[in-house]
Amino acid sequence: MDRSQLRAQANLLLENYNQPVLVEEYLPGKEFTCAVFGNGDEAMVLPIVAMNFESLPKGALPIYSFDAKFVWDRPENPLDIFQCPARITRQLQASIERVTLDAFRVLGCRDWARIDVRLDAAGVPNVLEVNPLPGILPDPADNSCLPKAARAAGISYDELIQNCLKYAAARQGVNLESSLSQIGAPQSERLLAAS
């Protein structure tokens, strides 16, 4: 699309929808999604999930669209759309992790998030989207990326949920050990301890 075509399309959208138009550069490279755990300097990226757009129906746009998530990916006929851990070079992995953690920290995400990254034409990772409340479907048959990355890291679903709670508690200065022992005490003892 050249500038005149872009201007004509933007004008058409402005007239039809009467709201601002956002124009972005198309990123033609591979797409990844990255699960992040923790807070501050101790935040870490779990194994990276790569998108396999070749598994989409012929002629489908190479994006993880609504159709890819909910129409074409069915329990009775699942798409083979994810590769985890992604088969990429260590250099690319480090670049993706760096941009992911930078986005996580700059945007003030806490405890966990899922960040979608796509490569530009030069192979440079760009953040597409940040999900501070990521999907966490427990069934491995469901294509839920944060649990998929956790499983690839050897973290069970229960540990995934517990780790999020631990990160949030530590961030808030809550001692889970003493809080849990308080929960197990009879109510009269809890009331005495609180006073």
Identify the pLDDT of residue 69: 85
* Region for residue 126 given its phi and psi (left: phi exceeds 0; alpha: psi -120 to 50; beta: otherwise): beta
Per-residue pLDDT of the chain (195 residues; tens, 9 = 90+): 789 999 999 999 999 999 999 998 889 999 999 999 999 999 999 999 999 999 999 999 998 888 988 889 887 888 889 999 999 999 999 999 999 999 999 999 999 999 999 999 999 999 999 999 999 999 888 778 999 999 999 999 999 999 999 999 999 999 988 766 666 655 545 444 444
Identify the pLDDT of residue 70: 85
Average pLDDT of the chain, as a whole number: 90
Distance CA(132)–CA(109), nearest Å, equals 6
pLDDT in tens, 101-142: 999 999 999 999 999 999 999 999 999 999 999 999 998 887
Q: Quick check: 128 and 116 in contact, CB under 8 A?
A: yes
Q: Give the residue ranges of DSSP H helices in the chain.
A: 3-17, 66, 90-106, 145-152, 157-172, 176-184, 187-194
Instruction: List CB contacts of 5: < 8 A, sequence separation 6 or more.
Output: none
Q: Quick check: 8 and 1 in contact, CB under 8 A?
A: no
